[in-house]
Amino acid sequence: MKQPSFSFPTWINDLVPDDELFARAYADISDENRAWMKTSIARQYDWYGPRRDISGADIRHWRAGFDTKLTYDAVDFAVVLFDGSLLSPSRLLAALIPALAGGVKHVLAARVSNGEPWRKAVLTGLELAGQELVIDITDVQARQLFTELRETNRPGAVTVLGPKAAVIKTSEIQSASRISFWRPRFSRSAAVWMEDKDTFDLEVLAFTHPDIVFSVFGAEPPLPADNFSYEGENFDEFLNAIMDVAYLPAERTDLALRKAKLVLGPGQEGCWIWPNLHPEHFQFHSTAWTIGD
């Protein structure tokens, strides 16, 4: 029997920001910064897809005398849950684009907040990505939403960005076997190596990640914002400063990959990727083992 089509609870429609808010945000972002966001979106689509298939099966007959069948299908819904501490459009889009590229039909971007103002770049990034359903939700409403989603017993995928967004990660909700949860384990810091003063466009980094602390090494450049500090010319000290993310030229990449989870080179200042957020997170998988004839 075919299941009825999925839909999010209708009460969340009252939580959608006004179109005028998106329009004002878009108008206030420079053409250059919008171009960086478009570049980030395009490169993420190259990385993740878009997939031409949204479901499939792998059937095998084994010499040991049994058969297996593995099936996959795009989940019915995906939710990207973030909070007001996330100010980076590229890090948000890196959690959103995999769901869109993977063929998930019902995708929700939900900010957990107490009604504080939106960062204009975040709204513009969501608009440029074509994200249709965006809401501003309290932590109480978030718990209610995920309780209702769990009770649908439909397969879904949730990406959680930011400490306040983790309010929904209760044991009861996580016990929903048909909903998968993913959350990055990244510090909000990055080390930057400058071969010369123009190796990286630090102004773009400041726009893209105002919520990351940047430690700059190598050639000393003008610093664009208070979340940047110059730490000296020693390359070994740069390597020691790497926590999770490093910015450095391609010829030095291998040295940083021994420690960093993510390495970005010149020309990638407006881009981001979550290395362990895989397309499979947005699929429902089933496996069958049977005895062959």
HSE-CB of 36 using CA atoms within 13 angstroms = 25
| CATH ID of 10-184, from 3.40.50.850, 3.40.640.10, 3.40.50.1980, 3.40.470.10 | 3.40.50.1980
> What average pLDDT values come out for the chain (293 residues) when binned by 10 residues?
81 96 96 97 90 85 91 94 94 96 95 93 97 94 91 92 70 68 92 97 98 97 97 97 96 93 97 94 93 74
Supply the pLDDT for residue 1: 46
Supply the pLDDT for residue 292: 67
Contacts 24+ apart (CB under 8 A), 37-41: 37/89, 37/90, 37/93, 37/121, 37/124, 37/125, 37/128, 37/270, 38/128, 39/270, 39/271, 40/89, 40/90, 40/93, 40/94, 40/270, 40/271, 40/272, 41/93, 41/97, 41/128, 41/129
Supply the pLDDT for residue 55: 86
Supply the pLDDT for residue 49: 79
> What secondary structure does DSSP assign to 163-225, as a single string?
TGGGGG--HHHHT-TTEEEE-----SEEEEEESSTTSS-HHHHHHH-TTSEEEEEES-PPP-S
With beta carbons less than 8 A apart as the criterion, state whether 167 and 145 touch.
no
Supply the pLDDT for residue 4: 75
How far apart CA 169 and CA 167 sit, in angstroms, is: 6
φ, ψ for residue 215, nearest 5 deg: -105, 120
Supply the pLDDT for residue 177: 72
CA 217 to chain centre: 27
- Alpha-carbon dihedral 217, 221, 222, 227, rounded to 10 degrees: -20
Supply the pLDDT for residue 163: 76
Supply the pLDDT for residue 68: 93
Residue with tokens 């400058």, as numbered in its chain: 194
Nearest residue to 141 via CA among 21, 11, 6: 11
- Terminal-to-terminal C-alpha distance of the chain: 28
Supply the pLDDT for residue 245: 97
How far apart CA 291 and CA 30 sit, in angstroms, is: 62
> What secondary structure does DSSP assign to 54-113, as a single string?
SEEEEEEE-TTSEEEEEEEEE-SEEEEEEETT---HHHHHHHHHHHHHTT-SEEEEEEE-
Three-class SS of residue 283? strand
Written as six digits, the tokens of 161 are 């960005």
φ, ψ for residue 171, nearest 5 deg: -65, -35
Supply the pLDDT for residue 174: 59
Supply the pLDDT for residue 170: 56
Supply the pLDDT for residue 50: 72
